[in-house]
Amino acid sequence: MTMEKTLWQQVQLVRQKSPLVHNITNYVVMNNTANALLAAGASPIMAHAHSEIKEMVNIAHSLVINIGTLDEYWAESMFIAAETANTIHKPWVLDPVGAGATSFRDQILHQLLQFHPTVIRGNASEIIALSKTNKTITKGVDSTAESNDAVDAAQMLVNQYNTIVCISGETDIILSKNQSFHIRNGHPLMTKVTGLGCSASALTGAFIGTIEDKVSGTAAAMSLLGIAGELAVRESKGPGSLQVNLIDKLYNITEEEFTSHLKIERS
């Protein structure tokens, strides 16, 4: 089977299985993230109360931890969730929003890494900062580096934490121990809608909660968002309509659209 077909089958599998994705994410993107998951066929739940975290991780198919609007209470929620996921082998995604911006973020991220995220998805600045907390170049939550600059940093994270790393940007680069993907879909206007990286992480959660091959699942999730994004841009007047059109495209995308627009290389 071609890679295009395989990844499309995974998109369909998420629609059929409708995985429950437990998100501990930030206040900015909760709504868009839940809508992106629903549009792709998954079932989102946002929950962070300490009293319910363990049960929620147990019933969910996957967990997504996003430190965007971190505070002390939520940090503890994240530790409980990540520890539970690691213990019961539930796949989980770490989105290190704003890594390197403050020592608080870096400290929490360092602790979360000890629970071996299945996938880490961040922009290039965040991945670099995550690997070298002593030399930070993150400026807020937007990337100031290119995906390529972050490859060495990502490789280090892959080896040290036995994880998959996805560096998002103009090219999405997915690295694991034995294979890598470069995906050249998406559109620059996507950086003008808040939280599309967060949606990428959440979709990755839905796919790794459904698909056994976590690297391929990550590639399918990133391909879906990139293609849906570039097709949605064609129907948009600016970031406002893009946000809405992207949700529609995640829901409506056809096999023909997916397979004919996919720009992916595997190595």
Shortest Å, Cβ 80 to ligand Cc1ncsc1CCO:
21
190 sits near ligand ATP (criterion: CB under 6 A): yes
Task: Kindly state whether residue 69 participates in binding ligand ATP, applying the rule CB under 6 A.
Answer: no
Q: What angle is formed at CA 44 by the lines to CA 39 and CA 48, rounded to 5 degrees?
A: 150
Residue closest to ligand ATP (Cβ): 197
Nearest-CB residue for ligand Cc1ncsc1CCO? 68
Q: How far is the CB of 52 from ligand Cc1ncsc1CCO (least distance, A)?
A: 23
Q: Which of 18, 43, 194, 241 binds ligand Cc1ncsc1CCO (CB under 6 A)?
A: 194
C-alpha to C-alpha distances, 10 to 38, 154, 169, nearest whole angstrom: 16, 25, 22
Binding of ligand ATP at residue 64 (CB under 6 A)? no
The reply to whether 205 sits in an annotated binding site is no
Among 169, 205, 209, 217, contact with ligand ATP (rule: CB under 6 A): 169
Question: Quick check: 96 binds ligand ATP (CB under 6 A)?
Answer: no
**Rounded Cα–Cα distance for residues 109 and 100 (Å):** 10
How many CA atoms are closer than 13 Å to the CA of 150, on its beta-carbon side?
Answer: 34
Cβ atoms of 124 and 118 closer than 8 Å: no
The smaller minimum CB distance to ligand ATP, of residues 168 and 245, is found at 168
At 56, give phi and psi (nearest 5°). -65, -45
Q: Which of 26, 125, 136, 201 binds ligand Cc1ncsc1CCO (CB under 6 A)?
A: 26
Chain positions 191 to 230 lying near ligand ATP, rule: CB under 6 A, are 191, 194-198, 200, 222, 225-226, 229
91 binding ligand Cc1ncsc1CCO? (CB under 6 A): no
Among residues 62 and 185, whose Cβ is nearest to ligand ATP?
185
Instruction: Report how far residue 78's alpha carbon sits from residue 243's, in angstroms, rounded to the nearest whole number.
Output: 28
Which one of 197, 205, 209, 229 is in contact with Mg ion (CB under 5 A)? 197
- Residue from 7, 14, 24, 29 touching ligand Cc1ncsc1CCO (CB under 6 A): that is 29
Give the binding site for ligand ATP (CB under 6 A). Answer: 97, 123, 141-143, 168-170, 172, 185-188, 190-191, 194-198, 200, 222, 225-226, 229
